[in-house]
Structure 1
Amino acid sequence: MNKRINTLYFSATDTTRKIVTSIAEELAKHREKGKTIRNMDFTLPEGRKAAVSYEEDDVVIIGIPVYAGRVPNVLLKYLNSIQGNGALAVAIVVYGNRNYDDALIELKDILELDGFKVIAAAAFIGEHAFSKILAQNRPDEKDSLFSREFAKQIDKKMTTQVEIQPIVVNGNKPYRNYYMPRDRQGNPVDIRRVTPKTNSNCTDCKHCVNICPMGSIDSEDPSKLIGICIKCGACVKKCPVNAKYYEDQDYLRHKSELEIEFARRREPELFI
């Protein structure tokens, strides 16, 4: 079965991109038409302006990060606009070593409603958006081995199954609510309005302006926000002078709790 290889991903800190492209590159080795991979990055606002459409000859590796155990709600409008038209899809979610909860089953459902045939899915681990030590430097070489082996399994499925069988993934229906941190008394804490601060290290290089997935950092004054913050970690982790940081105590307590409670390494889960 000849298929054109495509990637489609949102990846503010590059973890999802690494996983998705690793799978696509390995899959392309086994496809006659797959020497050229069409990559579609919808991380920045410009990448979400026009909907994308696929055909039956396409196989698309689609990757998103997990936010609070679900598909990020800021991506739903774009994801729902994609036209699958019978193309094959591989659903990938990447989470920060806590849990992917219902994100994978939610993404699978979205893609099927878009007209894709979801033939495989996986939950991989990437360095947590809030932290530089939780799942540090992941995806790593071991994750890369998982992704390459997964691609080989996908290729085998496409090659050997006349009628490609659907898959079942972990998750709940109806989906659980978005995960919320709790304070010391066990009460839910809402950190959605928490925003990053800017210290005196800032050189006004505008790098944070250019990489913010929501286009929310003011180009005239990068210390100001002109839109929502989804706490993706891009401006904090990619600032060349470490000028961006969070000081909200609920956020910092939650970050510390995650780093302690979920320090044990988790491994990818594959569904095929």
Structure 2
Amino acid sequence: MNKQINAMYFSPTGTTKKIVSGIAEKISENLDDGRVINYIDFTLPKLRKQLISFTQEDVVVLGVPVYAGRVPNVLLKYLNTIKGNGALAVPVVVYGNRNYDDALIELKDILELNGFKPIAGAAFIGEHSFSRTLAKDRPDDRDLIIVRDFARQIYNKITTGDNFQALVVKGNSDYKSYYMPKDKEGRPVDIRKVTPKTNSDCTNCKLCVQICPMGSIDQEDVSKLNGICIKCGACIKKCPFQAKYYDSEDYLRHKYELEVEFASRKEPVLFI
């Protein structure tokens, strides 16, 4: 098989990267010819300024996290600049054990509209961006076994046929609205404008500035935001001094409800 394997991902906390890279690497291992994988990380703003175009000789495993049951809306403009030109694609979404809702079908549709041929798709679970306990440490060893088996199935599909049938995945083609949490009276609440706070443990190391996928944290004063916060959890989970936190009542209530209601383990879902 004369194909270039590509791992492409948006992954602020590293969970989507781990799954997408794992799939791509196992496909490549099955090729057994020492082929180098092309890694395309579009997590940081500067990386989303690059124009990306593929060919029919490419296989692209493309993954994004699920935000409120959908593909993150901040990525839509960029995703629609990527040109498939007949490349084979594997859309992958990663969610925090609540639900992936219509995110996978939305990502598949985006890829098809931009010239890709989706041949397999999957929804995997990663530690929730709001929490250190919900889907803690996932993807874990059990998930990675499924990653390896999924990659083997993809390899077999690529090498045994040229006329791929249209991929069918779970979801509604008229996508649901973005999921919204509710207050204690059951009324929807909007947490989009909630931003992280910075406590006195901050040493001004600037790591949060470097890893913010929106480029929003102020270089001179890391307690300030110059843009939006998408609640990806990167600045909180990666701060070596645990100096970042949220104190919004609505956010914290929603986080607690997620941790209680969706504590039971969910398993990856594969479509091939």
TM-score, length of structure 1 as denominator length: 0.99
Q: Which one-letter code corresponds to 1:100 in the other structure?
A: Y
Q: What's the counterpart of residue 271 of structure 2?
A: 271
Q: What's the counterpart of residue 58 of structure 2?
A: 58
Deviation at 1:234, TM superposition (A): 0.2
Deviation at 1:165, TM superposition (A): 2.2
Q: Could you report, residue by residue, the CA deviation over 1:177-225 in whole angstroms, capped at 9, with x for unpaired residues?
A: 0000001111000000000000000000000000000000000000000
Q: Distance in 2 between matches of 1:58 and 1:202?
A: 44
> 1:67 and 1:34, CA in 2 relative to 1: closer, same or farther beyond 3 A?
farther
Q: Could you report, residue by residue, the CA deviation over 1:220-263 in whole angstroms, capped at 9, with x for unpaired residues?
A: 00000010000000000000000000000000000000000000
Q: Distance in 2 between matches of 1:134 and 1:60?
A: 29
Q: Distance in 2 between matches of 1:34 and 1:244?
A: 42
2:94 pairs with 1:94: yes
Q: Distance in 1 between matches of 2:101 and 2:79?
A: 19
Q: Distance in 2 between matches of 1:169 and 1:121?
A: 7
Residues 4, 34 of structure 1: 8 Å contact kept: no
Deviation at 1:33, TM superposition (A): 6.0
> 1:46 and 1:33, CA in 2 relative to 1: closer, same or farther beyond 3 A?
farther
Q: What's the counterpart of residue 105 of structure 1?
A: 105
TM-score, length of structure 2 as denominator length: 0.99
Segment of structure 1 superposing worse, 161-170 or 205-214? 161-170
> 1:101 and 1:87, CA in 2 relative to 1: closer, same or farther beyond 3 A?
same
SS state at 1:155 partner: helix
CA RMSD of aligned residues (A): 0.9
Report how many aligned residue pairs link the two structures: 272
Structure 2 gap ranges (5+): none
Q: Distance in 1 between matches of 2:114 and 2:162?
A: 23
Alignment of 1:108-257 (within 5 A): 108-257=108-257
Deviation at 1:32, TM superposition (A): 5.6
Q: Which one-letter code corresponds to 1:231 in the other structure?
A: K
